[in-house]
Amino acid sequence: MTPKQLINIIQAGEGLTTEFKTCSLKLPKTLFESVCAMLNTKGGLIFLGVEDNGNIIGVKKELIKKFKKEIVNLSRNQQKISPVIYLHVYETAINEKELLIIEIPESSQVHNTHNVIFVRNQDGDYKVSHPVEIAKIVNRKQNYHSEQKVFSRIDFGDLNTELIDRAKNLIKLNNPDNHLWKLDSKEFLTRIGFWKQEKGNKSGITLAAILFFGTDELIQSILPALKFEALLRKDNPDRYDDRLTAQTNLLDTYDLLMSFINKHLNDPFYLEGSTRINLRSKIFRELIANIISHREYMSPLPAFINIFTDSIEFTNPNNPMFFGKINPNNFTPAAKNPLINKLMIQMGRAEDIGSGIRNVTKYLPYYSENASVEFFDGDIFSTIIYLNEDSTSIKKTREKTREKTREKTREKTREKIIRLMQDNSSITISELAVLTGISVKGIEYHISKLKKENYLVREGGDKGGKWKIINK
């Protein structure tokens, strides 16, 4: 964004997506209230070094670096903002005064700061405590995906057109009858939903477009924490024998991760009828497509592939539908990033939603005798492949360790739920979901467990009822 554009925003004054704050020796006390409010509403810009009336007073130059570091670190602190999120902070000079500008995305999750929810209107930030209002936020967020965030300051010319041509060529190879490959680049982006027109005539490139077609410099300027890590850990599980770090566009990321898999995993011969099936590709392209298509890109956490002697693990930050182990034969699939997932399918790099998990389950026993797989949904989505029967005891040991870790996490979550109910016996499930940072389904799961274990009962109906904690 140019200095002239920033001046125009400042001259227009504070509003739904604009906030001014002075910043002398410390960060403003209310900074993360505004961060929280914008994440929960429509996103926006926070200007540090500007008074409420729009007067530019600046930030001391010697404190700029310190403040930027503090903002980034605090955005990863669950006390300050939960769920954590990466914030883009940059400095600029206007009228010879140094300013810090924080770009706040509209989030796909509901955030709180110190267990308090804030949203924003034209007059500023305000606290939300009424159950109906919290339920409205939760319901609105269920239909929003961070891949859809529009970056109006980024133009078509900032993208790499060679990558767009490459995507169109992949679509053509996968399905010549798909007309998308015939479109010019701008029309192509519009048709696949990567160029979006929002209310108020705001239009521009979406995060999905940047992730696929942005230059490395552009991607890192928007998501500097974006990272996919692939590690070979066969000789020493506590260290790595080989490592790949991908911090580039998703087209190259897919190819790099597949190359790492092809380098370190074998491809056994297998015929399905008279047709040769590439088992390695059939299984692992689905899992790589999964950590690309369904990760939460606003999270600062990386996605990992870990290859051990007896197992392979895929993990990625996630906006969960529920918490716990997935039954491949009985689950309802949902795209966490529908636009990204759709393009991956059109390019032939992923199967339809849900069929990927089923294919992995189907072909894995042919890849490695007695191999098995487990899928876990949560803040981190995990896929764990156990390669052979010899790993059964190791599998049990690791599963015990993971189960202990998961149980500790569940205990902490349930303890927090109980504390919140003790403080407010009328608290709603939507409020609990926001204050604990997990989904409504996750809260329902924990409440069900607490009831079964006779720690909790509900007195009265859904409306007007109260929670009663049973002391043991």
CATH code (residue 422)? 1.10.10.10
Token code pair at residue 89: 């902070």
* Domain containing residue 422: 400-469
CA–CA dist 464, 90 (Å, integer): 48
CATH of residue 339's domain is 3.30.565.60
Does residue 78 sit in helix, strand or coil?
coil
- 360 shares its domain with 235: yes
CA–CA dist 78, 442 (Å, integer): 18
- 241 shares its domain with 390: yes
Higher pLDDT, 196 or 118: 118
- 379 shares its domain with 301: yes
pLDDT score of 262: 95
Q: pLDDT band for position 27 (50/70/90)?
A: very high
From residue 26, alpha-carbon distances to 71, 86, 118 in Å are 11, 21, 22
CA–CA dist 229, 453 (Å, integer): 40
The half-sphere exposure of 468 on its side-chain side, counting CA atoms within 13 A, is 8
Phi then psi dihedrals of residue 6, to 5 deg:
-65, -40
In a domain, 422, yes or no: yes
Q: pLDDT band for position 369 (50/70/90)?
A: confident
Q: Residue 172 above 80 pLDDT?
A: yes
Q: pLDDT band for position 175 (50/70/90)?
A: very high
If you search the block for the tokens 């087209």, which residue do you land on?
251
Residue that finishes a domain, picked among 104, 128, 152: 128
- 382 shares its domain with 241: yes
- 239 shares its domain with 378: yes
The per-residue pLDDT for range 192-232, each reduced to its tens digit, is 989 876 555 567 889 999 999 999 999 998 888 899 999 99
- 372 shares its domain with 414: no
- 392 shares its domain with 414: no
- 386 shares its domain with 421: no
What are the beta bridge partners of residue 46? Answer: 19, 102
- 392 shares its domain with 302: yes
pLDDT score of 73: 87
- 453 shares its domain with 359: no
- Please name which of 322, 317, 336 lies closest in space to residue 439, comparing C-alpha atoms: 322
CB-based contact 292:248 (threshold 8 Å): no
Higher pLDDT, 326 or 244: 244
CA–CA dist 311, 231 (Å, integer): 12
Q: Residue 448 above 60 pLDDT?
A: yes
In a domain, 176, yes or no: no
pLDDT score of 178: 92
pLDDT score of 118: 92
pLDDT average, residue stretch 450-456: 88
Higher pLDDT, 305 or 413: 305
pLDDT average, residue stretch 435-455: 83
CATH of residue 116's domain is 3.30.950.30
* Number of separate domains in the chain: 3
In a domain, 211, yes or no: no
Q: Residue 150 above 90 pLDDT?
A: no
- 462 shares its domain with 336: no
In a domain, 156, yes or no: no
Element (H, E) at 263: helix 250-264
CA–CA dist 374, 357 (Å, integer): 10
The per-residue pLDDT for range 55-106, each reduced to its tens digit, is 999 999 999 999 999 998 888 888 888 888 878 888 999 888 999 999 888 8
- 373 shares its domain with 460: no
Residue that finishes a domain, picked among 399, 421, 444: 399
In a domain, 179, yes or no: no
Q: pLDDT band for position 249 (50/70/90)?
A: very high
Q: Residue 142 above 70 pLDDT?
A: no
In a domain, 138, yes or no: no
Q: pLDDT band for position 398 (50/70/90)?
A: low
Angle at 330 between CA 329 and CA 331, to 5 degrees: 115
* Average pLDDT of the chain to the nearest whole number: 85
- pLDDT cut 90: percent of the chain above it: 35
CA–CA dist 239, 135 (Å, integer): 45
In a domain, 118, yes or no: yes
Angle at 449 between CA 448 and CA 453, to 5 degrees: 120
pLDDT score of 197: 67
The per-residue pLDDT for range 3-19, each reduced to its tens digit, is 888 888 999 899 888 99
Angle at 334 between CA 417 and CA 163, to 5 degrees: 120
pLDDT score of 419: 87
Residue that finishes a domain, picked among 128, 152, 183: 128
Taken as a whole, the chain contains a residue count of 472
- pLDDT cut 70: percent of the chain above it: 90
By mean pLDDT, which of 70-84, 230-244, 325-339, 422-436 is the weakest? 325-339
In a domain, 109, yes or no: yes
